[in-house]
Structure 1
């Protein structure tokens, strides 16, 4: 993990922020595939920051789904400039490996966004409460009885709120502003993709 320069925040060390993922509002809110995958990969390192091996399955779940989407992008780059185009073009081939990968990736990102949003909006809550609350509303309904205990263990392994925020940088106001910016951008992308995935042509 990259060292945080003095006066900066952890978010400044990321290769790509969700705030810098192009969205083509004039073209069905098309989300640019390359930048989205870079931002998603960058955000998975948040689970390293949480400092517990219990989060390894959460991170590997996200990275595995990122790989499925990227593999399709590499196989058909001309048909995959936006995530929406990637899904629709893959489904035409009667396959849905990347489309399903993106579905799970969006669920994982929704979980991350809701966890962080809950913690931002509830200053007295510990991280474990925020993560548990978000897990119940996002991933848990889709997980099997085998997977649920693995993820539940991770929710209980989160560091104390103060410890986590200190890891994000030593200037609390800058950390707060950077966290709000990233979460807001992530929420926007997640909402666009969830709405798209609800559409008939995006299902298999």
Structure 2
């Protein structure tokens, strides 16, 4: 099975459409169908034998693959509920074929005749009767029928797999040899049953169980080897990625030591909020005063960039900051964390009024989420609205905030957003004027591109912790059954 599925890349990047191919117990992810058709290598490959399939019971189109080693989660989403059901069914079937070896899938359900026959054998054979008894519930079918059916999980895993990630040398030779031995013993047992040779049946039963045990042990050992290899590969890749990121960071920092923008010059930003976050009973708690101060510093963005065009949005953010400060002051409880304020109001059913901290923080966080998405849209290279400030704002608004406004407010917002200053004005207002003059004075071709790259780096550094804070607040409201 193959087709397009949306994959979650985090709050900043959101959902991205990828092309997935399910084959022989592995799910391969390609950037697009074109890359798949051009035989480009997959960007990600998931071994379903080492994944847990988790169905989202709240959102009818979402599901997850969770690694049994390391706990890494891949969140996926289809266009429709029926499409998700089809993928879940196919993934589950593929996973079952990989993991269901304990029952030797090529052995069918017991028949009454085989139970009677095996019971008779167990009474007459004097050798290790416990071994014979373990096969009392296993029916024996002609070997030709087993080969024709070909739908047992063990057959699928070991006898017909062409996926080298499942079985490879030297384990492959050993497992295939054990398969042949087991099939031979079962064929001998079939012949003995046909001849009603009770003395031979008991002896062959012992051989069949011995070969089955050896086969299952080899399969389990191979599964452990695969798990260890995958973990080692993940650790190696993580180390390489970490080293590369550090080298890139050092290279970038060496070029921007004296470069300043609005995003790098704020005395309090959302990185300070993240650094001040603590965990209590498994839940993150955001420091209230640092958060409000970071939001207050953020208001300067509007002063530098949009002037009066976005005054309503600026006033709304400032007003909600003031409401939260007032609640903290009037309560006299000395709240240290935002979640404490909201929990207190909700527990007393005092959270629905327009002047409550719960509602003020809710709308403040919605505004921050829009601004975070706008900044990402306008500077990242893979954005469809890169360097288009108006389109970037409208895209962010439509995605995150429009659904919370009535149609009249939506119209007013969109009209105002069309008058947002250009990207060139954005550059000049965000980059420190001294840095701008020095860059211009070099007279070098592409000096503005150099400054723009540095500014984009500052933007991403600023919105990364901002996005973390927004997501944690969204999660808090979700746990209280409030649409974030």
Q: TM-score, normalised by structure 1?
A: 0.87
- In 1: Cα distance, 2:291 partner to 2:332 partner: 14
Question: How many angstroms does 1:102 deviate by?
Answer: 0.7
1:119 aligned onto 2:373: no
Runs of 4+ off more than 6 Å? none
Indicate the SS of the match to 1:29: strand
- In 1: Cα distance, 2:335 partner to 2:259 partner: 38
How large is the RMSD of aligned CA atoms in angstroms? 2.1
- In 2: Cα distance, 1:135 partner to 1:109 partner: 11
Q: 1:202 to 1:136 in 2, by over 3 A?
A: closer
Query: Conserved in 2, the CA contact under 8 Å of 1:57 and 1:151?
Result: no
Question: How many angstroms does 1:153 deviate by?
Answer: 2.4
Q: 1:124 to 1:115 in 2, by over 3 A?
A: closer
Match of 1:42 in 2: 297
Indicate the SS of the match to 2:309: helix
- In 1: Cα distance, 2:410 partner to 2:482 partner: 27
Match of 1:175 in 2: 455
Q: 1:47 to 1:153 in 2, by over 3 A?
A: farther
1:189 aligned onto 2:469: yes
Q: 1:165 to 1:72 in 2, by over 3 A?
A: same
Match of 1:31 in 2: 286
Aligned residues: 198
Match of 2:268 in 1: 16
Q: TM-score, normalised by structure 2?
A: 0.39
Q: 1:86 to 1:201 in 2, by over 3 A?
A: farther
- The structure with the larger Rg is 2
Indicate the SS of the match to 2:428: helix
With CA pairs under 8 Å and 6+ residues apart, which has the higher RCO, 1 or 2?
Answer: 1
Question: How many angstroms does 1:144 deviate by?
Answer: 1.9
What is the correspondence of 1:47-196 to structure 2 with a 5 Å cutoff? 47-76=302-331, 78=333, 80-96=335-351, 97-121=356-380, 122=383, 124-169=386-431, 170=436, 171-196=451-476
Decide which structure has greater helix share. Answer: 1
Task: Name which of structure 1's ranges 38-47 and 25-34 shifts more when overlaid on structure 2.
Answer: 25-34
Structure 1: 5+ residue stretches without partners:
1-5
Query: Conserved in 1, the CA contact under 8 Å of 2:379 and 2:386?
Result: no
Task: Name which of structure 1's ranges 32-41 and 22-31 shifts more when overlaid on structure 2.
Answer: 22-31
Indicate the SS of the match to 1:53: coil
- In 2: Cα distance, 1:18 partner to 1:200 partner: 24
Question: How many angstroms does 1:199 deviate by?
Answer: 0.7
Query: Conserved in 1, the CA contact under 8 Å of 2:292 and 2:321?
Result: yes
Decide which structure has greater strand share. Answer: 2
